[in-house]
Structure 1
């Protein structure tokens, strides 16, 4: 990696730097104490997406994404963290390190009780899917793939401070697939994280509640999530994972009243059977602020993100072959209004250029919800998301919103829509009648923000580096309409043990005018076309899946 030499130089310099204050061993001041809002809400992968109040201490009893009972209050300890979780759906980032990681001292073997400085983790996931007439494909019928994902983590902290490091391995495979595998499903024997870090625990003193305010500088390969995961995400549902190579500088940490996250990275190109490499044509950079002083009412996250791409003549897609520069200022805020309701909203504007066109796009989301005081923990929420699409394909302005490297699945469980050219209202209901069982039901409708722009993942119209886009997913005239369709999604989550989590899910999608008209307008396979053709069908689909996630330590 190009950053290794630079990092080794930093490590050498760091040996002459003394931390401002020695780390405390007083149990009453251990970082990462529970927050008042630590009751976990089920998110993205059917899991309680618990992120700890600190990177220093992980509550390993909750390291699996699972249904977790409410923690009993410990009156002997003061709750000092400023961090409050959002109650909105799937917006709480993965912990750092991830939830399946534990300190070796916590595995329950007496001989390892003193190994508090070593982080380890092993995780396995298997998911079976049944898809009928998947509209992401030009070919209809049934597809029954089986996905396998293995992860392993090892990391060192504390003992060599300020130097720390971590390595995370992942192996992703697919079997019984009807269609050619892509880098969304297959990525054999590769690294998600391989970084070194300088961690100065009290370099910036302490906040008003006595939480250490550190400086952390990380260099290497990194897979992580931040803000509401809509622009930087690991993509936990997908069988493969986003990762980057570059640097990250954090001033403060999650438990503090304020934090600043600065980064400059190149996304890693996932090569299905070869070792992944950084995309030398693209840089992703930004600054993210976190203001938590009033977190009982509101948490504010102002940020700036951008990406700069130099044209790659050999790029797989037309977008890869363009010079592009996109700048995005944005803001997110979430919190609660007394005991009446909770809220989470964001707004983002994008400007710059994409090839010969000027970039001018926007996106925003808003969710309001209420947790009802009942033994079964019911919750009802309303959501609306908007991302602009290209209004006129013949002018010199590109209005298509770019989701950067954010998650996809929460926009639709079947992965039909993403945060691009979209209007998406939803209503959602959650219920947890027992500690180990939870239910979810969601109804959503989808419209194109611009009827003359594309539907991202429709009829092979994706940005996979395996399958060429035949161009059936866009009607430049706008005559196919803008209604994509609506869906009913349901999930049952079951956690038989603290280390095993199972999910059964089903989605029925009912096609709207745009989907029906684009299928009808595409060349029909029934006419004996020798070129790419589309199986003409109603556009309605069914998606059933069963998943088991196991933490092995």
Structure 2
């Protein structure tokens, strides 16, 4: 717009036209940072939330009736999975199996109203049907309490961080299930039909939103009993501490930690074990790039069944996220986990996986974190807000050809042939191609369809032949899973 103005000089009047001044455009506001936490982009490494993801605070649900129940966390979840397993290499019988796995969970948590005291109870019923094989505690654990704990929660005991978040202290005691770091050494195993859980104490300084947090625990693992109520393993203690440094989380998050396992000999009826495991993990995104990384190294020492323990692992993953609405990510992973080098020496090099989650290694549940070399390529993308797709190609070798392949012929068989101490069966386990589609059918219903084709390597075929008198070139795993929650 134009505006006419009068200009004055020393002896004359002049008229001029100049543009009308416009108000300065408002600068877009930068969203204020409210948390230091950054999720790792690495494939399948994000721990389950606390409380579990199917749980909602009742005051925040879609039902106005519950708007005043800010003190109540509640959730109900049911999952049904159909599996087709053809020539499953974990079994001692090469056939096609069609199991149905059912899992129902209910969670009730009370907070705020009785602070500092809080509590939670989680029930789970796990069952499996239509299998050719006997029941086991991977699929069966009916009518069980997987969490029953009390908690003292002091919300600002350590003050506040620079973003204004409280630094609480949380003290829990009772039966608990949780996941930590990248789930490889401590996971409650969301994929499996039954859950890892523990009884004991857990003390946490700080929270996920803070720039630093320390999580400590001393617990005894719960033994899953198919027919009776579960009880803790009184001869075993699992303990540890995890540090989280998030001050520079826009670039890197650092997690130094220590885990240990102590097992007594129960008067000579089982091996005595003292295993110590210091480790460090670092993940993040390289500045001004779309390249992410996840680096992890672990060492183990101590005594295991009268042998000196010396084992190690290192895990490397690099990914690139393309600039596209589908958010495609391509990643490369390599994992090395030591196996026992010499069955006749006085040193045990076999890595102890504690209570980890195996599925990040292979979707068919064949591979665990023990005696393995595993390169993998993964591609992920989301063509719609309710659809995500991922797939990959993996190769597997024994880290030591004289040590075992843990899961080979190791379910429902009393005499597994999963090790050749001479090393003459080779070291190539096989290779796998897999794909998975997740689709949110409705706000309360999630569906997943997955497939994995495993091509048996020299070692797998040779050990199948030694144990069964026959072998297969490959195996197939197909599944359809439906999960239903009570609340959005």
Same structural fold, with TM-score higher than 0.5 when normalized by the shorter chain: yes
From 105, 125, 131, give the equivalent of 2:79. 125
Asked if residue 486 in structure 1 is aligned to residue 420 in structure 2, the reply is: no
From 241, 266, 284, give the equivalent of 1:335. 284
From 260, 283, 295, give the equivalent of 1:306. 260
From 372, 376, 379, give the equivalent of 1:422. 372
Listed one character per residue, the Cα deviations across residues 302-339 of structure 1 (whole Å, up to 9, x for unaligned) are: 01110000124696xxxxx1000100000000001022
In the other structure, the counterpart of 1:550 is 484
Q: Is the 8 A contact 1:128 1:145 kept in 2?
A: yes
In the other structure, the counterpart of 2:226 is 272
Listed one character per residue, the Cα deviations across residues 492-512 of structure 1 (whole Å, up to 9, x for unaligned) are: 111122221111111111111
Q: Is the 8 A contact 2:462 2:471 kept in 1?
A: no
From 304, 320, 324, give the equivalent of 2:273. 324
List aligned pairs for 1:443-458, cutoff 5 A: 443-458=393-408
Query: Which protein has the bigger strand share?
Result: 2
1: CA distance between counterparts of 2:140 and 2:427?
33
2: CA distance between counterparts of 1:215 and 1:391?
44
Asked if residue 191 in structure 1 is aligned to residue 145 in structure 2, the reply is: yes
1: CA distance between counterparts of 2:267 and 2:368?
27
In the other structure, the counterpart of 1:501 is 446
SS in 1 for 2:426: coil
Q: Give how far 1:371 is off.
A: 0.8
In the other structure, the counterpart of 1:411 is 361
Q: Give how far 1:523 is off.
A: 4.7
2: CA distance between counterparts of 1:109 and 1:82?
31
Q: Give how far 1:538 is off.
A: 1.8
From 349, 361, 368, give the equivalent of 2:318. 368
From 240, 244, 267, give the equivalent of 2:194. 240
1: CA distance between counterparts of 2:465 and 2:63?
63
In the other structure, the counterpart of 1:285 is 239
2: CA distance between counterparts of 1:87 and 1:511?
30
List aligned pairs for 1:212-223, cutoff 5 A: 212-223=166-177
1: CA distance between counterparts of 2:266 and 2:212?
39
Q: Is the 8 A contact 1:135 1:539 kept in 2?
A: no
Q: Give how far 1:77 is off.
A: 6.2
1: CA distance between counterparts of 2:38 and 2:64?
34
In the other structure, the counterpart of 2:116 is 162
List aligned pairs for 1:57-206, cutoff 5 A: 78-206=32-160
SS in 2 for 1:522: helix
Which ranges in structure 2 are unaligned for 5 or more consecutive residues?
1-27
1: CA distance between counterparts of 2:163 and 2:59?
28
The 3 A distance-change label for structure 1 pair 397 and 101 is same
1: CA distance between counterparts of 2:43 and 2:105?
25
1: CA distance between counterparts of 2:401 and 2:473?
18
Runs of 4+ in 1 over 4 A off after TM superposition: 74-77
1: CA distance between counterparts of 2:202 and 2:357?
20
2: CA distance between counterparts of 1:491 and 1:314?
47
2: CA distance between counterparts of 1:157 and 1:123?
21
Q: Give how far 1:142 is off.
A: 0.5
Q: Is the 8 A contact 2:33 2:163 kept in 1?
A: no
Listed one character per residue, the Cα deviations across residues 387-418 of structure 1 (whole Å, up to 9, x for unaligned) are: 10000011111100011001011211111111
Moved more, 237-246 or 108-117: 108-117
Q: Give how far 1:229 is off.
A: 0.8
2: CA distance between counterparts of 1:522 and 1:544?
26
Q: Give how far 1:198 is off.
A: 0.3
SS in 2 for 1:411: coil
In the other structure, the counterpart of 2:383 is 433
TM-score (norm 1): 0.81
In the other structure, the counterpart of 2:460 is 515
1: CA distance between counterparts of 2:62 and 2:457?
54
2: CA distance between counterparts of 1:269 and 1:420?
22
SS in 2 for 1:410: coil
Which ranges in structure 1 are unaligned for 5 or more consecutive residues?
1-73, 316-320, 525-535
SS in 2 for 1:158: coil
Listed one character per residue, the Cα deviations across residues 337-360 of structure 1 (whole Å, up to 9, x for unaligned) are: 022400001100000011111000
In the other structure, the counterpart of 1:530 is none
TM-score (norm 2): 0.92
In the other structure, the counterpart of 1:67 is none
In the other structure, the counterpart of 1:45 is none
Listed one character per residue, the Cα deviations across residues 63-101 of structure 1 (whole Å, up to 9, x for unaligned) are: xxxxxxxxxxx9696222110000001111111000110
Q: Is the 8 A contact 2:91 2:413 kept in 1?
A: no
The number of residue pairs the alignment matches comes to 459
In the other structure, the counterpart of 1:25 is none
2: CA distance between counterparts of 1:75 and 1:155?
37
| Two-structure CA RMSD over aligned residues (Å) | 1.4
2: CA distance between counterparts of 1:211 and 1:189?
39
From 196, 203, 207, give the equivalent of 1:253. 207
1: CA distance between counterparts of 2:468 and 2:55?
50
**Which is greater in Rg?**
2
Q: Is the 8 A contact 1:234 1:242 kept in 2?
A: yes
2: CA distance between counterparts of 1:175 and 1:332?
40
